[in-house]
Structure 1
Amino acid sequence: MAHVDLNKYRPYIIIGFIVLFTLLPLWTRGYIPASDMVTPEGVNLLGNDPWYSVRQVEQTVANFPGYAWFDAMTLYPSGDVVYWGPLFVQIISALCVLVGATTRPEIMVVASWVPPLMGAAMVPVTYLLARKITDWKTGLIAAGLIAVISGSFAHRSLFAFVDHHIAETLFSTIFVLVYVTALLTTRNSPLSRKNFETLKMPVITAAAAGVAYLLGFFNMPTMILLALIVAGFTLIQFLLDFFQDRPSDYLVLVNAVTFGVVIVGITAFGFPHPGLDLSRYTVGHVVAYAALIAGTLALYGLSAYLRGRPKYYFPAALAGLAAIAIAVLFVALPDVYNLLVSSLFAFFGEQAITTTVQEARAWSYAAAWATFHWGLVLAAGGAAALLWWSREKVNPAHVFILVWTAVILASTAAHVRYEYYLAANIALLAAVFAGAVLDATWKDVARLFRAGSGGAPQSPGASGKQEEPAKKGKKGARPPDTRKPKVPPRDQPDYIKVGAFAAVVVVTLLFAGTSLQTNLAYAASAKYSGIDSQWMEALEWMGTNTPDPGVDYHAIYDRDTFTYPKESYGVMSWWDYGHWITFVSKRIPNNNPFQHGVSGPNGSATYFVSTSEEEANRILDNIGTRYVVTDIQLDTGKFHAPATWADPDVGKARFEPEYLLPESAGSTSYQAVPFYNQQYYLTMVSRLHNFDGSMTDPTSQVIYAEYRDAGTANTSLPVITRTEQMNATAAAAAVEAYNKSAPAGAGATLLNMYYQYRGDSILQPVERVPALQHYRLVHETPRNVFSNTGTNGPDLKAVKIFEYVPGAHIKGDGIIEVPVTTNAGRAFIYRQESVNGTFTAPYATSGWSGEVKTTGPYRIVNTGQTFDVTEEDIQQGRTIN
């Protein structure tokens, strides 16, 4: 049988595997979801931010290659600054121009393919990086793992997840690859200032690292994280080189050239944002990179000065100089201190409001295992392998990989969004460990296979060779036992190594297979992750049936010279929905998913949890709002978010308090149970969405509860000692009577069951809820969120749109009513109690062409007087009588 020399074909085999691994994510993250999501109307993009990215693409295509650093179509009435870079958007825009995609559906399809393409590009990049720090076998394993790795990395490289996150991972990994190449090239070159040839390749590779860094930087200013990694690595590598008496001049060259190129590139790019904020494109980045170069030079000078002295001098001197430098910056240059020191601590910190933002939350152990599972074990082994290989001769590339992983891991632990960065580290280190074990055990596995196939050495007799005569031993000595030799043959495998080989192969395949299965599930469910049908219906209605705000959707405006036209206005909703309002409706939200316009006295959080219409109206007046959009999620599942943003110290506890209740009758074990109190029903989101702004009285029994304070009961929450379902009027009287003579640390209150325990409880206030005087429902979506309650059950729609109006005034006392029928066919009575002898009517009984209509005149209940109110009366705020 002819022997085939596989080494001769190795490059072609490697290329073949890389191509296959590259096609795999294009299939799982591109073709599978695209086959379900592309329609003649375009693509139902995933999540929130992708809608804004495609909005940017539309704007850039219309003004190619112009890029808007200011957007007047969001965050009314100020507009918003765009704080990320143009690269991702301009790559998509250039592709659109190249293929002639000019309509919205065409642009959406082109944009939707870019994330899976960038995810696929990670395959050859990861292969090259793994090969650079180890060998081609490890490179192939790493390429295969990055092709199937799951979690945020896979999700954010799905078709239709049009956001710069996958570009962040790609460009940062490219930088790591080129920077490591520069390190190894420079470390292995005899540097001489007198011989340019010795500097040629080191300078070229370091400059290439600078260009790679700029690619990441022009995509997102959080590329500064990689500079932090370089700084940490530089410090550690200087220490290692000093203790091992190795020169560190290569670090000076690489950092000086790399970040010198970065400084030049950033300066040429310009500074669209003022100040020193490293999260934006400011001159602060130049300061930071200059400080990195200066720090590298200082380390080199200090190490050269202390060379030949006791080893502990160097770290001791570093600690002392660092303390002095921080103190000087704190006192003399507070702006620079905040830039370089305070911002670092802020980055790794956490605030209460971050818990309301999914990607800003801390990473949990459960989430880590759910995402990377056995990859974490393999990656830990890879880190151990790099440390083991560096025990005698430190490889700076290995040190850099370890520091890179440590910082990204810490970033992910603080903010789960960085999980998509960490995917590259997990795949790389898992491959390093798998490759190391395979290298160490392959010979024994080969021996096992040879033995199993009959290729093991046979006994001399069996081979046909004449057996040598046995040497004579002593008289009476037993002849040697030829059946069981004392020394095993050299080709006998080490079964411990064979077992290690098998274990690593099984765990690696388990990691890859489980990840691939998860990715297929992501792809299959992607079509359900866009805007749901109810929101899409409401947004399309708004885009067609509300006044044009007078701002050109595609125009690029200058922030310093732009002013809004007189007819412009804002749309109030929760920040999750801001980009949808901009893209689908082409209207201007008062806040957006960048969490701008959410906090503060005029923020949407304060508005939605306000229990005073007067205060809520003041907010809308201050920010020029005309329409308010609510949905069932904001009303229930997401309610904790505005409550937390409005008051991080208290959160939703003032609206949805928790009490300790016995788990069962007579039980001594307690469980925390949430309830609604009257404050929840008085919030603007509840009064609008649940009650249509109408006055609402309790219509069922409420819970009368007696409790002991947490301090008195020595518990974490108040403990309910007695509950009774009572008529609302009797319950209110009982609360008043009990609290007049309640023991210290005890009290009584009215409660209602939490939404998840009794669905319609959000419609059942425990006391009267006053009407809103300046809000009228103008549209609601068709679906009833209580669709399983039958025809006689409550009817609450998923999304509602209200108009904020001046309202007409009617003199009178008591309660006034007007019948209303919505566009969905739902009928309700708008009721209002007079305030200081006046009713404020938000609905017109004539002259109104909207879909939500009154079906009769206003009628004062106690007098029977009726009134007709025109649309002009409503808008002019006229007094009718």
Structure 2
Amino acid sequence: MSTDTEHVDEGAETSVLETWKRWYHIPILGVVMLFMLLSRVRSYDRFASSDGTPALQAIDSWYHWRMVQWTAENYPHTMPFEVWTGFPTGQYSGQFGTLFDQIVVTAAMIVGLGDPSPETLYTVSLLAVPVMATLVAIPVFYIGRRLGGTLGGVVSVLLLALAPGTFFYRSTTGQLDHHIGEVLFMAIAVFAMMVALRVAEREKPIYELLLDGDRDGLKTPALYSVLAGVALSLYIWVWPAGVVLIGIFGVFFAVQLCLDYVRGVSPDHVAFVGAVSLGVTGVITVLLMEGGGTGTGVTSFGYLQPITAFLVAFGCVFMAWLARQWNGFDIDRRFYPAAIGGLIVATFLVMALALPDLYSTLVGNLTGRLIPINASETGLTVAEVQPPEDFTQHVVDEFGMAFYTMVAGLVLLVLCPFIGSLERNYRAEYTLIIVWSLFLTSMAATQTRFAYYLVLAVAVVNAVFVADIVRLFDLGGSVEQLRSIETYQVIVVIMVALLLFAPLLPPIANVTAWDRGDQAYPSDDAMAWEEANHWLEGNSPEPGDWAGAGHEDELEYYGTYEYPEGGDFDYPEGSYGVLSWWDYGHLITVQGERIPHSNPFQQHARSSSAFLTAQSEERGELLLDGIAAEGESVYDLSDDELESVVGNGTDSNEEMRYVMIDHKMAGGKFGAITQWAGPGYGTYVNQEQYTIGENEGGLQAPSENYDETMLASLYLEDATELEHYRLVHENDDYAVVGGFGRSTPRGISDDPFESFRLERLGMSGSWSNQTQNFQIQLDQSRMLGQITPLSQSQFLYDAHVASSVKTFERVEGATITGSVDDESLADENASVYASVDLETEPGRTFTYGQQVDLAADGTFEVTVPYATNDELGTEDGYTNSSVLATGDYSVFVGTPGENGSVDVHYDGETEVSETAVVNGESVDVTLEEADGESADPTSDAEDGAGGAGEGTAENESESDSGTDSGSNSSTDSDSNTTDTDNATESIARSSAVSVVG
């Protein structure tokens, strides 16, 4: 009896273990996917909107939000052409409004029962990317299981879930970008291709079956090949630049067909999969083509995708045909790959001659995306497309040691035909994984962001590594084998587990996936620009209604606009654009509902760069007028050439009316801005000597060329001495723009164009991190920054305190005209000075000043951009400026006096109406003879004060009279010291330095 009981118990235990071994992956997969989702939504509360205002990560997320909103309004259609960006041409949206956005909106439609509220749409958008990232686990598991059994599949999803790098942080709440959609659909496409290849190897379709019309013999491989083609097409539909996967598949088919033929295996089997799947992809991508995608661009649906797909399909058919012909030649099979390689090179040579655009696109993407060579200087200004500085450390940070075990897994895949104990027959899908993994590795070494692709290869190839370790050390098998496991086998299991997972888990990991999930925050740029853009939306006329044109109905925000003939949209009268750096274009479109000139498509980046670095207002004006007349192509023309372009007629319907500049453009982004239109960054810096304690060396400081740029003249000087630009709004938070120096035993680590944003905390702000550490105390006016170095080795130089974002308006300017009776003053180098005190909405006051020479006949004309009243507003088709004059213009005529002062001979005051400013009208001023007083009219631009520092509590009287703030270095408005000859000594001073922005 006892024996029978024992037998029953043992059988039940065996049955349970066998059942667990068969199905254990399902609960594990469920738990892992739940972890993946929960870890990615830990920061959800930071993005949840209580007032309907979105908060998202990454700038591209904002444009996807635009596409999600538009698609919801026009469901199921996608936007054919975008007129709310890229002024004055508009822009084909390309990789936005694709399947990714369609999926998000469709999910919202389901949740909202066909009519989702804005809150539902936003909630679904916040959760879409974390959910997509979680779903990636499914194809990863099945790919891993094909390569390494069920255990390999489980290992793959565990690595995917625990990886804390690029794939993770691009898939947290607040990320509304297509990157994770790319990963999901790439994984599906690769899995589908693997299955199709395996079915073809089993069913063995050949050319004769096609001739005989044997449907039964071709049906199954044809079905799976079509599904592979559909999966590949879905991936490209998510990201048009996914044409790179067609190229990867093309390389795989070339390699595999050569291997098959050399090994004596018919290439027909694999060629059949390639021809059918890529043929299907070609047909589908033809259907995806839209009016704006008729070129060979990578980021839009055009000719490139179907052409490359059909080329690969044709190549598969050709290689199979050539193999049959080769059999009739008396040539060794081993020369077949060389012949194929030669034909490929010849094809590219012919393409370079016959189709140069297609050739340059293919080669450009090969070197720019797939291979880490020949990256463009402008492309490298984008952080995510820069290569990792240290690739070996980069992959460790991303995947721990799993990247190196992946390399071992690839080696094992290659060697499996030669190692009998691995018990694996070589299959075409192994070649696919090897080629794909090598390309993903190269892509990750080319652009940092592509680590989110590499995580797929790292995860699935480690299935091979684990499975082969299990085979080599006999760790698998039946329940009886598990019972008799040896000590060394336990040690191997522990070592493999530690190697793969310990670097990704505490206490070894610096940051885990779970920790990183709580580190997601809304974009700093979006938060900084929200106030400025919302102000712009509410205080500027609707596009199409400038000057009361009344055409705003022709530019509906959710309207549909077909791709225009010639590619450039014809904007209606009353339209206008907003010039800023391309980083902020999507924010201007979405937050401000206004039309930026340049955008993160990098459209019009060169013309924006040319304007921002222009060395005079005259050239800046010519550039903007030239852009309206001819487009971006004018960016590198000379002034004479620009005058010719402008003289041929500028379209009055297309004007750039606003310029928006933030502290990063004046600071850390300035180097990138210079790369697009030139000259380079070095033109704007000087080498200056410094002394700190016993350390001496050289540092880079902004040069006069930087000070004279339109960017600096506007942002740092509040448009002082400019005739056609005026500040109309500034944010109520502030930043420090300047150079941060850190003395080291060997020299200095500094950047002359650094910027740090101050979040207002009452009347003070602070900022610090590992490499920059200083404190800034603000006085009651919040304008005078007291900068306190924390040590002898740290200091700020040439620093300005300014609003985080400033908005300027381009106006005709009013001309103040007048005359004096004493014509002899012209012979005494007399000048005319006009100034007005202004106050911003946050309460900062500053003085605008302008100076011109007195004419020989005693007359003068001074063009000024600020009005002394606020008589026009958005209802009239003009700007409702938040920067207001506190009094009338003060105008005086003076001659040079002693010690830099000016002897005043005539003075007077006048009003300047808003109408005169926007229409370019003249305003007369009557000057009366002065009482022999003297003044110091040194402008902000001349002393480096930058306008923004004028009007604080302690120097308000000085700014009213236009006098200099003094020569004491502790209160001088020029933060780089008063005496440039003693700059070295002053910069080295360790005492507190007062900085005025």
Settle same-fold status: TM greater than 0.5.
yes
User: 1:69 & 1:238 partners in 2: Cα distance?
Assistant: 40
Unaligned runs of 5+ in 2: 1-5, 420-424, 544-551, 629-654, 737-764, 766-775, 786-800, 819-830, 872-879, 895-905, 925-997
Task: Kindly report which structure 2 residues correspond to 1:834-845, keeping only aligned pairs within 5 A, or say none.
Answer: 834=852, 837-845=860-868
Is the contact between residue 72 and residue 79 of structure 1 (CA under 8 Å) also seen in structure 2?
yes
| C-alpha RMSD of the superposition | 2.7
Farther off after superposition, 317-326 or 819-828: 317-326
User: 2:683 & 2:331 partners in 1: Cα distance?
Assistant: 64
Question: Does residue 222 of structure 2 align to residue 222 of structure 1?
Answer: no
One-letter identity of the residue aligned with 1:354: G
Cα shift at 1:827: 0.9
Question: Does residue 178 of structure 2 align to residue 160 of structure 1?
Answer: no
Q: Which residue does 1:539 correspond to in 2?
A: 533
User: 1:174 & 1:55 partners in 2: Cα distance?
Assistant: 27
User: 1:13 & 1:321 partners in 2: Cα distance?
Assistant: 50
Question: Does residue 406 of structure 2 align to residue 406 of structure 1?
Answer: no
Q: Which residue does 1:121 correspond to in 2?
A: 135
User: 1:815 & 1:663 partners in 2: Cα distance?
Assistant: 41
User: 2:454 & 2:695 partners in 1: Cα distance?
Assistant: 50
Is the contact between residue 40 and residue 105 of structure 1 (CA under 8 Å) also seen in structure 2?
no
Question: Does residue 277 of structure 2 align to residue 251 of structure 1?
Answer: no
Question: Does residue 305 of structure 2 align to residue 285 of structure 1?
Answer: yes
Match of 2:411 among 357, 363, 384: 384
Give SS of 2:341's match.
helix
Task: Kindly report which structure 2 residues correspond to 1:115-514, keeping only aligned pairs within 5 A, or say none.
Answer: 115-191=129-205, 193=209, 194=212, 195-272=214-291, 273-307=293-327, 309-335=331-357, 337-338=359-360, 340-341=362-363, 344-345=366-367, 347=369, 348=371, 349-364=374-389, 365=391, 366-391=393-418, 393-441=425-473, 443=475, 493=486, 495=488, 498-513=490-505
User: 1:115 & 1:627 partners in 2: Cα distance?
Assistant: 35
Q: Which residue does 2:752 correspond to in 1?
A: none
Match of 1:846 among 853, 862, 869: 869
Question: Does residue 809 of structure 2 align to residue 799 of structure 1?
Answer: no
Q: Which residue does 2:724 correspond to in 1?
A: 774
One-letter identity of the residue aligned with 1:500: V
Is the contact between residue 150 and residue 371 of structure 1 (CA under 8 Å) also seen in structure 2?
yes
Match of 2:848 among 817, 820, 830: 830
User: 1:541 & 1:375 partners in 2: Cα distance?
Assistant: 49
One-letter identity of the residue aligned with 1:838: E
One-letter identity of the residue aligned with 1:40: S
Farther off after superposition, 334-343 or 42-51: 334-343
Deviations 1:169-222 (A, max 9, x none): 111110000000011111122435154333222111111101101111211112
Q: 1:258 to 1:447 in 2, by over 3 A?
A: closer
Q: 1:356 to 1:284 in 2, by over 3 A?
A: closer
Cα shift at 1:531: 4.5
Cα shift at 1:328: 3.3
Q: Which residue does 2:792 correspond to in 1?
A: none
Give SS of 1:362's match.
coil
Task: Kindly report which structure 2 residues correspond to 1:92-131, keeping only aligned pairs within 5 A, or say none.
Answer: 92-100=104-112, 102-131=116-145
Cα shift at 1:879: 1.5
Q: Which residue does 1:767 correspond to in 2?
A: none
User: 2:689 & 2:918 partners in 1: Cα distance?
Assistant: 50
Give SS of 2:186's match.
helix
Question: Does residue 820 of structure 2 align to residue 820 of structure 1?
Answer: no
Match of 2:682 among 650, 653, 661: 653
User: 2:352 & 2:525 partners in 1: Cα distance?
Assistant: 48
Question: Does residue 584 of structure 2 align to residue 577 of structure 1?
Answer: yes
Match of 1:644 among 664, 675, 679: 675
User: 1:666 & 1:161 partners in 2: Cα distance?
Assistant: 46
One-letter identity of the residue aligned with 1:359: E
Unaligned runs of 5+ in 1: 456-490, 695-770
Cα shift at 1:564: 2.1
Is the contact between residue 204 and residue 269 of structure 2 (CA under 8 Å) also seen in structure 1?
no
Question: Does residue 778 of structure 2 align to residue 790 of structure 1?
Answer: yes
User: 1:327 & 1:666 partners in 2: Cα distance?
Assistant: 58
Cα shift at 1:833: 1.3
Is the contact between residue 50 and residue 161 of structure 1 (CA under 8 Å) also seen in structure 2?
yes
Q: 1:8 to 1:353 in 2, by over 3 A?
A: same
Give SS of 1:866's match.
strand
Deviations 1:766-799 (A, max 9, x none): xxxxx21111111111123254233172452111
User: 2:262 & 2:487 partners in 1: Cα distance?
Assistant: 38
Q: Which residue does 2:748 correspond to in 1?
A: none
Normalising by structure 2, report the TM-score: 0.72
Q: Which residue does 2:761 correspond to in 1?
A: none
One-letter identity of the residue aligned with 1:542: L
Q: Which residue does 2:620 correspond to in 1?
A: 616
Cα shift at 1:388: 2.1
Cα shift at 1:282: 1.5
User: 1:840 & 1:522 partners in 2: Cα distance?
Assistant: 55
One-letter identity of the residue aligned with 1:172: M
User: 2:145 & 2:285 partners in 1: Cα distance?
Assistant: 31
Deviations 1:113-168 (A, max 9, x none): 11011100001110011112221110011112112222221122111211111111
Give SS of 2:46's match.
helix
Give SS of 1:180's match.
helix
Match of 2:887 among 831, 856, 866: 856
Match of 2:561 among 557, 564, 569: 557
User: 1:398 & 1:663 partners in 2: Cα distance?
Assistant: 62
User: 1:444 & 1:87 partners in 2: Cα distance?
Assistant: 42
Deviations 1:558-590 (A, max 9, x none): 132753232221111111111111111111111
Question: Does residue 708 of structure 2 align to residue 682 of structure 1?
Answer: yes
Is the contact between residue 159 and residue 501 of structure 2 (CA under 8 Å) also seen in structure 1?
no
User: 1:356 & 1:510 partners in 2: Cα distance?
Assistant: 36
Deviations 1:314-351 (A, max 9, x none): 13322333343333333445455445556534544301
Cα shift at 1:691: 1.3
User: 1:516 & 1:241 partners in 2: Cα distance?
Assistant: 46
User: 1:74 & 1:56 partners in 2: Cα distance?
Assistant: 13
Farther off after superposition, 506-515 or 182-191: 506-515
User: 2:36 & 2:687 partners in 1: Cα distance?
Assistant: 46
User: 2:222 & 2:526 partners in 1: Cα distance?
Assistant: 53
User: 2:361 & 2:701 partners in 1: Cα distance?
Assistant: 44
Is the contact between residue 44 and residue 530 of structure 1 (CA under 8 Å) also seen in structure 2?
no
Cα shift at 1:663: 9.3
Cα shift at 1:447: 12
Quote the sequence identity (%): 27
Q: Which residue does 2:660 correspond to in 1?
A: 629
Is the contact between residue 205 and residue 218 of structure 2 (CA under 8 Å) also seen in structure 1?
yes
Is the contact between residue 44 and residue 531 of structure 1 (CA under 8 Å) also seen in structure 2?
no
Q: 1:866 to 1:492 in 2, by over 3 A?
A: closer
Q: 1:337 to 1:845 in 2, by over 3 A?
A: closer
Q: Which residue does 1:750 correspond to in 2?
A: none
User: 1:779 & 1:855 partners in 2: Cα distance?
Assistant: 16
Give SS of 1:634's match.
helix
Normalising by structure 1, report the TM-score: 0.81
Q: 1:635 to 1:202 in 2, by over 3 A?
A: same
Give SS of 1:160's match.
coil
Q: 1:338 to 1:10 in 2, by over 3 A?
A: same
User: 2:727 & 2:60 partners in 1: Cα distance?
Assistant: 28
